Amino acid sequence: METEEKIYKGLPASKGIAIGEVFVYKTESHYYDIKDKFSDPATEISDYESAIRNSIKELNKIFNLAKEKLDDTNLQIFDAQLTFLYDDLLHSKIKQRILQENKPAHIVFSEEIKKLEDALMNANDDHLRERVNDIEDIKNRVLRNLNKGRLFSKIKENAIVVARNLTPADTILFSNRNLLGIATDLGGINSHVSIISRSLKIPAVVGMHDISVHISSGDMALIDGYKGVLIKNPSENTIAGYTEKIKQNLEFEKKLEELEKLPSETKDGVKINLSVNLEFNDEIDYVTAHFGCDVGLYRTEHMFLEYGDFPDEETQYRQYKFLAEHVYPGKVTIRTFDIGGDKILPEHQKELNPFLGWRGIRISLDKEDILQTQFKAILRASTKGNVKIMLPLVSSVDEVIKSRKILLKAMEKLDESNFKYDRNIKLGIMAEVPSVVFMAEDFADVADFFSIGTNDLIQYTLAVDRDSSLVSHLYQKFHPSVLKAIKALVDGAASKGIPVNVCGEMSSDPCAVALLIGLGIKELSVEPISFLRIKNIIRQISYTHACEIAEKALQMNTENEIRNYLCEFYNEIKTEVN
């Protein structure tokens, strides 16, 4: 085994430093080849049974959600796939073979499916040969579920997870296993794995190209989430240096903690409502105890990923009520499901451009009952008057009007059952599609507030996929057009007297704080990990100065110029705690 220290570079996705053993998480495609150790027939059989159950659950979920989106042929294929999963003769044969031949479930299952595939491939008829695809799909689904269940039990606690890529569901799965850190080949600093690791406060480095090949499970590694590097086999010197760095960071954090009880206002006394973005309920206690702030954005997608389906009204209600009660007297803005079609649609129906496709409010309006259920659950949690609703990915005024109608219907339904709720609940929108920028005044007529989602606003304004490593350098948050877009949204909101906040990644960027305040933003919603850092910056700038900075930046026409200007200003104040 090589023990030489080696440094690999990537993108800093989530701050923090971790030292520990590596666990390489191999995703589906190359996981099939792994020769698993055979445990014992009883375990193999129960693994197989639960893989079949999970596959049935998955298919039913897809079937129900995609029913109206699929043509008849595809629906029948789904239905046929379900018939496979209910084939008891197949199951009993597989179980019998596991027992008699002492072979692992995935091998026996693959062999049985292979027999069928061979039979079809030998047919003289093209039609039948093509059916191999249907079978391939069902085979992959079962094998994936078989592996997933085992994988989870195999994930080492307290390890650094290295993977080609992690889906949001993977990341959430891992979060229950005490991860030390994450390193991935793919992904940008704004991809989901990065956002989730920041919210879970797990150090992460992404975009490492092929780290998953260069490192193996059991290797020692160090992850530096500040610089974006992974050090394989760190030497004693390196570890000592980092131990010192960890110490310094802790001291700085400690100094920052003194800010907890101080107000979030500029040097010249302008109040800035600093709130947090939340994704998981277990973060709430920490936030209320230490920050005592509003929740500017509560994402609800994680429920979909956890339950593998849209949760029912009661399940949602319990989560929202818990949240609203804990945050009270603070306010909480709950965003309706912001799920992409890529999470729901089957492989062969996937859209070419999921970011321009069926996602966010588009799904919610096509599936009115899902939106109405979510509205009812949110309304029921609003009795203390501290809850607001926010719609994601709005691109037309119609969508707001339709949503409001559904909200009224939800209220009527609750009235029928004598439920109490806040009749004046605010319904706002995420401002993240350029059409909202161009029509800011019109949107301000129908929405109660704007929340600027900078990640999507930047990607849609600049036509850059933030996850594509080929163009990610063109994803420029200080692009002059982005500044102008924010300005237009602030002006549009002001013309109708509605509030506007920024809840995207940009609000957690220290260099952006003065700019945003200067542009007229009075509310910033940040990731909890950045809360005190951002508060510290707010307290060190004056509002008048911020306005001058924003005005100057608006005159500039390259991102480079703007970035240098803003970061220079930040560097002057960054090490002080005030």
Point out the catalytic residue in the list 192, 290, 326, 545: 192
Residue of 293, 479, 503, 511 marked catalytic: 503
Active site residue 302: no
In whole angstroms, the minimum distance from the beta carbon of 61 to another protein comes to 19
| CB-nearer residue toward another protein: 346 or 392 | 346
| 157 contacts another protein (rule: CB under 8 A) | no
Cβ proximity to another protein: between 138 and 205 the closer is 138
Sheet holding 229-232, edge to edge: 6-9, 229-232, 220-224, 17-25, 159-163, 181-184, 204-206, 11-14
How many CB atoms within 10 Å of residue 190? 23
Whose CA is closest to 207, among 578, 475, 391? 475
Burial of 405 per CB tally in 10 Å (0-12, 13-18, 19+): exposed
Closest approach of Cβ 150 to another protein, in Å?
24
> 332 - beta bridge partners?
295, 387
Strands 159-163, 229-232: parallel, antiparallel or unpaired by DSSP?
Answer: unpaired
Specify the residue, 128 or 213, whose C-beta has the smaller distance to another protein: 128
Tell me, residue by residue from 108 to 147, as one string, x for binding to another protein by CB under 8 A and - for no binding. Answer: ----xx-xx--xx-xxxx-xx-xx--xx------------
CB 98 within 8 A of CB 44: yes
**C-alpha to C-alpha distance for 397 and 399, rounded to whole angstroms:** 5
| The binder of another protein chosen from 2, 68, 88, 157 (CB under 8 A) | 88
Quick one: which of 25, 84, 174, 375 contacts another protein (CB under 8 A)?
84
Least distance to another protein, CB of residue 31, Å: 24
> What minimum distance in Å lies between the beta carbon of 149 and another protein?
22
Shortest separation between residue 53's beta carbon and another protein, angstroms: 18
Smallest gap, in angstroms, from Cβ of residue 350 to another protein? 20
Q: Which CB atom, from 122 or from 555, has the smaller least distance to another protein?
A: 122
- Report yes or no: 184 and 162 within 8 Å, Cβ to Cβ: yes
Q: Which is nearer to another protein, 118 or 260 (CB)?
A: 118
**Interaction between residue 83 and another protein (CB under 8 A):** yes
In the bound state with another protein, the residue whose beta carbon lies nearer, of 116 and 303, is 116
CB of 101 to another protein, least distance (A): 18
Cis peptide, bond prior to residue 329, ω within 30 of zero:
yes
Residue 278 CA to residue 300 CA, distance in Å, equals 9
Count of residues engaged in binding another protein, rule: CB under 8 A? 27
CA distance 96 to 512: 63
Q: Is residue 106 flagged as an active site residue?
A: no
Separation in Å, CA 45 to CA 13, 48, 50: 40, 5, 9
H/E run at residue 160? strand 159-163
Residue in the structure block whose two tokens are 């991860």: 179
Shortest Å distance, C-beta 85 to another protein: 10
- 49 is a site residue for another protein (CB under 8 A): no
Which residue stretch of 88-96, 210-218, 258-266, 369-377 sits at the interface with another protein (rule: CB under 8 A)? 88-96
> Which residues is 8 bridged to in the sheet?
230
Percent of the chain that is helix, strand, coil (3-state, to 5): 55, 15, 30
Give the nearer residue to another protein in terms of CB position, either 52 or 284.
52
- Binding segment (CB under 8 A) for another protein, from list 33-41, 86-94, 320-328, 329-337: 86-94
Complex with another protein: residue 67 or 405, whichever CB lies closer: 67
Q: Which is nearer to another protein, 46 or 83 (CB)?
A: 83
Contacts of 364 (CB under 8 A, 6+ apart): 336, 337, 370, 371, 374, 391, 403
User: Closest approach of Cβ 66 to another protein, in Å?
Assistant: 17
Q: Using CB atoms within 10 A of its CB, is residue 412 exposed (0-12), middle (13-18) or buried (19+)?
A: exposed
155, amino acid identity: I
Stretch that binds another protein, among 85-93, 170-178, 433-441, 512-520 (CB under 8 A): 85-93
Binding track over 62-81 against another protein, x by CB under 8 A? -----------x--xx-xx-
State CA 259 to chain mean position distance: 29
Tokens linked to 544: 């008048």
- Say if residues 223 and 25 touch (Cβ distance below 8 Å): no
Q: Which residues bind another protein (CB under 8 A)?
A: 73, 76-77, 79-80, 83-84, 87-90, 112-113, 115-116, 119-120, 122-125, 127-128, 130-131, 134-135
Q: Which residues are catalytic?
A: 192, 503
